[in-house]
């Protein structure tokens, strides 16, 4: 049975401007630059100034009104009538966004990136050098196409046989593919085309072994026959099975540790990724100053020619229908340009305010660089301090970096949970992690510290932490369990 009902609901929706701001806020400096360039190409009503912008000073953003969300109010852009004067370049606040350049007139240069051959192209070149035109060349190309970026061929050969039959109408056998794969496994880098770690290590050892090297012979036997014991570091079992002493085992393990478990990554020639700091914190005789990377603040403005067209429309009083239709299109482009400029401005304000609050909260670290001086701090602390939503702070902290006198750090580095020590003082869990990493770095590798031993060590220093918490922190530090840290 169908019936109509009338109900009231309170819904919260994001405006297109808010969505645009959110997307810009979470971008890295490189992505933001690319986005600005794309907007300049897509919207002819948006133009870039002659010079790049620059440092946003702290005092420019102390006015709380500047951080209010201007996009919550209803927009008048959708109405047919509009005020031409708001698009004219006479009002600098609306027409463009300019900021002072603290970097002077120094030319902003891009870091050159040399062209490098891709990993796949490197393999293809070797295929053409080792296979003649015909079916084998096609099969080899198909196998190479299935090799993943780390150098492994994880797709089973029977599945590849079926792929060839159904997608390329090529009939072959698993044995034939195996022979071609064996030839590919002799390509560079050593270990390429392996189907698992054991085969990868053996391929590299076979390529190094020219005979007469006892350490390599033992290494091959360990990987071929005692892989499980090797992975679990059950060295006593290996010595007993192979009837060798500690010195022989140490020489064999030394050969194994020289191997590359991911041969494809060593040859992968994708474009290098550089970390571009979004902020720089400068210590000027105890006064910490936050500088926003100049690449985050381009000088943007509305097109003069588009504004002049609107002026012509204003003088015509809208009587010319053709001109009015053209101006409606121009208006849409100008609306988009204004929204983008406002979003860029709000992004810069939000970045500056957030970073300034982080520096104030972690002043001791930014002054002296001591990791143990970091105070417990969560996203909510910064959100409450600058009166913004936690999700906004999370977007700022994600993928952003700051350059300090002590190195480059991700913003997430400064957020950590708090732990209460024996004296009742709350300290950052980074202090505990530092103690753990230092203790493990200085341990005897013949008898590494267990999680229980680490727990006792922390208790002696005044940190009453459970063993499972110690294990969690150890895993966050990417440190394996004691058994896997053991060495001969």
Q: Are 169 and 182 a contacting pair, CB within 8 Å?
A: no
Question: What span, in angstroms and rounded, lies between the C-alpha atoms of 125 and 128?
Answer: 5
Residue 111 lies in a domain: no
Rg (alpha carbons) of the chain, rounded to whole number: 31
Q: Are 394 and 400 a contacting pair, CB within 8 Å?
A: no
* Domain end among 349, 370, 404: 404
Residues 125, 206, single domain; the answer is yes
Residues 175, 312, single domain; the answer is no
- Residue 105 burial (10 A CB sphere; 0-12, 13-18, 19+): exposed
Residue 244 lies in a domain: yes
Burial 231-269 (b: 16+ CB within 10 A, else e): eebbbeebbeebebeeeebebbbebbeebbebbbeebbe
Nearest one of 302, 278, 295, 291 to 49, comparing CA atoms: 302
Detail the DSSP E strand segments found in 340-397. Answer: none
Please report, for residues 117, 160, 178, 409, the alpha-carbon distance to residue 153 in angstroms, rounded to integers and kept in the order given.
21, 11, 12, 36
Residue 8 lies in a domain: no
Q: Are 395 and 264 a contacting pair, CB within 8 Å?
A: no
How much is the pLDDT for 175?
A: 92
DSSP 74-113: PPSTTSS---GGGGSTT-HHHHEE----TTTT----PPP-
Strand partners of residue 173 = none
* Domain end among 404, 433, 452: 404
Residue 305 lies in a domain: yes
In the numeric block, the tokens 């770095």 are attached to: 441
Residues 220, 322, single domain; the answer is no
Residues 123, 253, single domain; the answer is yes
Question: What span, in angstroms and rounded, lies between the C-alpha atoms of 100 and 115?
Answer: 36
Residues 378, 470, single domain; the answer is no
CATH of the domain at 446: 1.10.10.60
Using CA of residue 152, residue 154, residue 157, residue 162, what is the dihedral sign? negative
How much is the pLDDT for 45?
A: 83
Kindly report whether the global pTM for this prediction surpasses the value 0.85.
no
Return the structure tokens found at 235.
């060295």
How much is the pLDDT for 13?
A: 62
Residue 9 lies in a domain: no
Residues 163, 283, single domain; the answer is no
φ and ψ at 116, to 5 degrees?
-135, 145
How much is the pLDDT for 314?
A: 62
Q: Coil, strand or helix: which one is 411?
A: helix
How much is the pLDDT for 88?
A: 43
Terminal Cα distance for the chain, rounded: 79
Q: Are 411 and 396 a contacting pair, CB within 8 Å?
A: yes
* Domain end among 223, 245, 267: 267
Q: Provide block-wise average pLDDT over 10 residues at a time, the chain (488 residues).
A: 73 70 85 88 80 38 39 38 43 39 39 58 88 86 89 90 86 91 90 91 85 85 90 87 88 88 68 75 89 86 77 62 71 84 90 93 90 85 91 87 91 82 71 86 86 87 84 85 77
Residues 138, 24, single domain; the answer is no
Q: Are 145 and 162 a contacting pair, CB within 8 Å?
A: no
Instruction: Tell whether omega for the bond before 189 is within 30 degrees of 0, i.e. cis.
Output: yes
Residues 292, 375, single domain; the answer is yes
Give how far the C-alpha of residue 87 lies from the chain's centroid of Cα atoms, to the nearest Å. Answer: 38
Residues 139, 226, single domain; the answer is yes
Residue 154 lies in a domain: yes
Question: What span, in angstroms and rounded, lies between the C-alpha atoms of 241 and 225?
Answer: 10
Using CA of residue 57, residue 60, residue 64, residue 68, what is the dihedral sign? negative
Residues 348, 477, single domain; the answer is no
Residues 125, 230, single domain; the answer is yes
How much is the pLDDT for 194?
A: 92
Pairing of strands 401-404, 279-284: parallel
Residue 112 lies in a domain: no
Residues 328, 253, single domain; the answer is no
Angle, vertex CA 48, rays to CA 43 and CA 50, nearest 5: 160
How much is the pLDDT for 53?
A: 36
Q: Please give the residue range of the domain that contains residue 190.
A: 119-267
Give the total number of structural domains in the chain: 3
Residue 383 lies in a domain: yes
């Amino acid at each position: 049975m169908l019936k109509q009902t009338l109900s009231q609901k309170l819904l919260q929706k994001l405006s297109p401007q808010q969505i645009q701001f959110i997307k810009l806020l979470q971008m890295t400096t490189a992505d933001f630059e690319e986005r600005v360039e794309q907007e300049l190409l897509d919207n002819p009503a948006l133009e870039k100034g002659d010079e790049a912008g620059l440092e946003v000073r702290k005092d420019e953003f102390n006015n709380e009104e500047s951080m209010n969300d201007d996009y919550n109010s209803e927009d008048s852009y959708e109405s047919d009538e509009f005020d031409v004067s708001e698009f004219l370049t006479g009002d600098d606040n609306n027409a463009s966004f300019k900021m002072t350049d603290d970097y002077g007139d120094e030319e902003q240069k891009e870091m050159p990136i040399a062209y490098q051959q891709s990993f796949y192209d490197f393999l293809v070149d070797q295929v053409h050098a080792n296979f003649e035109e015909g079916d084998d060349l096609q099969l080899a190309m198909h196998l190479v196409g299935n090799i993943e970026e780390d150098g492994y061929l994880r797709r089973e050969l029977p599945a590849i046989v079926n792929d060839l039959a159904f997608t390329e109408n090529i009939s072959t056998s698993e044995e034939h593919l195996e022979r071609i794969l064996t030839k590919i496994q002799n390509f560079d880098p050593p270990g390429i085309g392996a189907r698992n770690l054991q085969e990868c290590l053996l391929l590299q050892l076979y390529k190094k072994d020219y005979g007469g090297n006892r350490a390599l012979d033992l290494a091959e036997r360990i990987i071929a026959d005692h892989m499980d014991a090797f992975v679990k570091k059950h060295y006593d079992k290996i010595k007993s099975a192979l009837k060798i002493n500690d010195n022989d085992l140490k020489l064999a393990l030394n050969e194994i540790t020289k191997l590359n478990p991911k041969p494809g990554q060593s040859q992968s020639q994708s474009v290098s990724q550089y970390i571009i700091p979004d902020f720089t914190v400068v210590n000027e005789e105890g006064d910490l100053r936050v500088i926003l990377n100049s690449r985050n603040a381009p000088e943007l403005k509305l097109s003069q020619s588009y504004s002049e067209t609107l002026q012509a429309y204003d003088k015509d009083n809208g009587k010319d229908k053709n001109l009015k239709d053209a101006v409606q299109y121009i208006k849409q482009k100008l609306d988009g340009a204004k929204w983008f400029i406002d979003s860029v401005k709000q992004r810069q304000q939000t970045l500056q305010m957030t970073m300034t609050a982080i520096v104030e909260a972690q002043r001791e670290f930014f002054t002296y660089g001591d990791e143990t001086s970091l105070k417990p701090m969560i996203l909510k602390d910064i959100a409450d301090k600058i009166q913004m939503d936690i999700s906004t702070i999370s977007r700022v902290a994600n993928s952003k970096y700051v350059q300090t006198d002590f190195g480059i750090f991700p913003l997430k580095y400064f957020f950590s949970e708090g732990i209460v020590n024996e004296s009742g003082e709350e300290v950052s869990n980074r202090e505990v992690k530092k103690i753990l990493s230092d203790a493990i770095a200085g341990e005897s590798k013949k008898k590494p510290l267990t999680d229980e031993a680490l727990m006792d060590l922390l208790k002696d220093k005044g940190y009453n932490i459970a063993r499972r918490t110690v294990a969690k922190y150890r895993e966050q530090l990417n440190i394996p369990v004691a058994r896997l840290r053991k060495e001969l």
